[in-house]
């Protein structure tokens, strides 16, 4: 059985290696690879609880789960990227003859033809392009899994981290945005946000941002540069933004016309209509109406439990998105806990024909971090430990095992383990693992 696998293991794990390790001639490393982390049971319990809620809730909305390989074509990963970004990709080395050939030729650009995926959106678009014929239309996809970025390791920021995305392909109507926002809001509530950790969703459409810049008189070719400055407002304040724009030689008048737009907006959906009126021909009327309807429908059918705010300064990946964009924030901490929007042009990169697409990505690691800090209780109730004395008879052990198996069949969590000499200490440790009922089996 599995003979080749067996031989292979045989070559790997040879008992005498222990000696080499002891002598230091083999370097087995205990720590995880730089920037990546081991996940211990307490955190895993929270992660799995959240993942199972996500699967359950998104399932009710008709999303079906798919999976793409962790390894992706390098040419897909590197399509149209600057020099700095290239450094973020973990490249997987070619093997055998192919590697030898590239090295011999000195063709060092060609040492690899694949790499670890850096997000779930690119592989999903490839997936849809490849499997479109076997998929329903609209296709509502849920994708959960690790992604990899060779970023500078920072506190709380890892090189391997999980993402959790929902996307709807093939529906150009605003029903997609509404459904996505309702799904996301429901998931956040069921995870524990809303009550314990208030959240709200910020919405915009990149066309509104563009129209405001156009109305202000900023030159169109500068829109992306300006957007990046405008997006800094929550960090450097409106005054800081103003100064930076002045230093980039934009006029006071341009800036003030831009700010006139902002003064109109408090965050309510009605502000979209006010702004639309002001912007006049600078903004396609349908854009404003569309965003207004999305907000109205989500507010009404979400029964107010999903708070929305219109924010015409929201930028969020200008080149990527083609319509409404949104970001989830919380009043309790800075930074976003998820975001997304419409990106109708991505699938076209693979199949040459554009396909409507709306997506939302949960900031999975951030949510887990918040729940862990909030000291979420991860222990299931009623964990039972059977402590078995060493000299117990076979008959007694067998009876005990049968009892344990019956309790497990009833859904109880039952640990069966040898009784230590220091029973008190053992029980204390088990208590800290969530065991609150003890059964002691003695040999007498």
Residues 159-188 close enough to bind a copy of itself by CB under 8 A: 159-160, 171, 173, 175, 178-179, 182, 186
Does 69 bind a copy of itself (CB under 8 A)? Our answer is: yes
Does 393 bind a copy of itself (CB under 8 A)? Our answer is: no
Residue pair 241/359 in contact by the 8 Å Cβ criterion:
no
Q: SS3 string of 266-277?
A: CCCCHHHHHHHH
Residues 267-306 that bind a copy of itself (CB under 8 A): 293, 296-297, 300-303
Residue pair 311/203 in contact by the 8 Å Cβ criterion:
yes
Q: At its nearest, how many Å lie between a copy of itself and the CB of residue 179? A: 6
Q: What is the DSSP string of 226-295?
A: HHHHHTTHHHHHHHHHHHHHHHTT--HHHHHHHHHHHHT-SS-THHHHHHHHHHGGGS-HHHHHHHHHHH
> How many residues bind to a copy of itself according to rule CB under 8 A?
155
Query: Which residues have CB under 8 Å from 378's CB, separation 6+?
Result: 42, 45, 46, 49, 434
Query: Which of 263, 304, 331, 390 contacts a copy of itself by CB under 8 A?
Result: 390
- Name the nearest CA neighbour of 230 among 344, 175, 312: 312
Q: Which stretch binds a copy of itself (CB under 8 A): 132-140, 214-222, 236-244, 254-262?
A: 132-140
Query: Which of 200, 223, 350, 438 contacts a copy of itself by CB under 8 A?
Result: 350
Q: Which stretch binds a copy of itself (CB under 8 A): 45-53, 239-247, 254-262, 280-288?
A: 45-53
Does 90 bind a copy of itself (CB under 8 A)? Our answer is: yes
Query: Which of 220, 263, 381, 411 contacts a copy of itself by CB under 8 A?
Result: 411
Question: Of 94 and 278, which has the nearer Cβ to a copy of itself?
Answer: 94
Give CA–CA dist 377/219, Å, rounded: 54
Question: Of 3 and 281, which has the nearer Cβ to a copy of itself?
Answer: 3
Q: What is the DSSP string of 363-382?
A: -HHHHHHHHHHTT---PPS-
Does 322 bind a copy of itself (CB under 8 A)? Our answer is: yes
Q: At its nearest, how many Å lie between a copy of itself and the CB of residue 383? A: 8
Site pattern 203..222 for a copy of itself (x: CB under 8 A): --------------------
Q: At its nearest, how many Å lie between a copy of itself and the CB of residue 252? A: 25
Q: At its nearest, how many Å lie between a copy of itself and the CB of residue 194? A: 14
Residues 15-34 that bind a copy of itself (CB under 8 A): 15, 17-18, 20-22, 26-33
- 3-state DSSP assignment of residue 337: strand
Query: Which residues have CB under 8 Å from 434's CB, separation 6+?
Result: 378, 379, 380, 383
Does 362 bind a copy of itself (CB under 8 A)? Our answer is: no
Region of 80 please: left (phi>0), alpha (psi -120 to 50) or beta: left
Q: Which stretch binds a copy of itself (CB under 8 A): 209-217, 252-260, 268-276, 334-342?
A: 334-342
Does 41 bind a copy of itself (CB under 8 A)? Our answer is: yes
Does 153 bind a copy of itself (CB under 8 A)? Our answer is: no
Give CA–CA dist 354/350, Å, rounded: 9
Does 133 bind a copy of itself (CB under 8 A)? Our answer is: no
Question: Of 272 and 385, which has the nearer Cβ to a copy of itself?
Answer: 385
The secondary structure element, H or E, covering residue 49 is helix 41-60
Question: Of 44 and 280, which has the nearer Cβ to a copy of itself?
Answer: 44
- Order of strands across the sheet that contains 199-205: 139-148, 160-169, 357-362, 336-342, 324-330, 199-205, 308-310
Give CA–CA dist 379/374, Å, rounded: 14
Residue 293, number of CB atoms within 10 A of its CB = 15
Q: Which stretch binds a copy of itself (CB under 8 A): 58-66, 192-200, 208-216, 242-250?
A: 58-66
């Amino acid at each position: 059985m599995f003979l080749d696998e067996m031989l292979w293991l045989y070559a790997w794990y040879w008992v005498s290696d222990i000696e080499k390790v002891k002598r230091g001639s083999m370097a087995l490393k205990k720590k995880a690879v730089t920037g990546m982390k081991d996940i211990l049971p307490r955190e895993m319990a929270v992660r799995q609880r959240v993942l199972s809620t996500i699967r359950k809730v998104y399932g009710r909305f008709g999303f079906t789960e798919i999976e793409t390989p962790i390894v992706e074509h390098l040419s897909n990963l590197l399509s149209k990227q600057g020099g700095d970004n290239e450094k973020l990709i973990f490249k997987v080395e070619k093997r055998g003859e192919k590697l030898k050939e590239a090295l011999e030729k000195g063709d060092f650009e060609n040492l690899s033809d694949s790499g670890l995926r850096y997000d779930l959106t690119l592989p999903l678009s490839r997936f849809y392009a490849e499997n479109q014929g076997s998929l329903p239309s609209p296709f509502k996809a849920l994708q959960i899994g690790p992604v990899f970025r060779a970023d500078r390791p920072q506190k709380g920021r890892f090189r391997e981290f999980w993402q959790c995305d929902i996307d709807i392909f093939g529906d150009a109507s605003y029903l997609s945005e509404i459904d996505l926002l309702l799904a996301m809001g429901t998931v956040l509530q069921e995870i524990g946000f809303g009550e314990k950790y208030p959240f709200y969703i910020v919405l915009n459409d990149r066309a509104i941002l563009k129209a405001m810049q156009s109305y202000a008189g900023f030159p169109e070719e500068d829109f992306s540069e300006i957007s990046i400055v405008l997006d800094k407002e929550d960090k450097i304040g409106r005054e800081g933004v103003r100064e930076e724009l002045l230093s980039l030689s934009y006029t006071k008048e341009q800036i003030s016309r831009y700010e006139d737009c902002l003064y109109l907006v408090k965050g309510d959906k009605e502000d979209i209509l006010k702004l639309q009126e002001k912007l006049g021909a600078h903004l396609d009327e349908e854009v404003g109406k569309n965003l207004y309807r999305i907000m109205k429908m989500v507010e009404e059918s979400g029964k107010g439990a999903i708070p929305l705010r219109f924010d015409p300064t929201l930028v969020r990946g200008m080149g990527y998105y083609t319509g409404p964009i949104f970001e989830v924030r919380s009043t309790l901490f800075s930074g976003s806990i998820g975001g997304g929007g419409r990106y109708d042009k991505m699938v076209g990169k693979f199949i040459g024909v554009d396909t409507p697409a709306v997506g939302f990505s949960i900031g999975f690691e951030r949510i887990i971090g918040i729940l862990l800090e909030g000291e979420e209780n991860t222990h299931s109730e009623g964990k039972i430990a059977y402590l078995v004395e060493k000299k117990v008879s076979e008959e007694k052990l067998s009876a005990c095992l049968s009892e344990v198996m019956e309790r497990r069949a009833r859904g109880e969590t039952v640990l069966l383990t040898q009784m230590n000499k220091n029973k008190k200490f053992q029980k204390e440790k088990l208590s800290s693992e969530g065991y609150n009922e003890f059964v002691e089996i003695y040999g007498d």
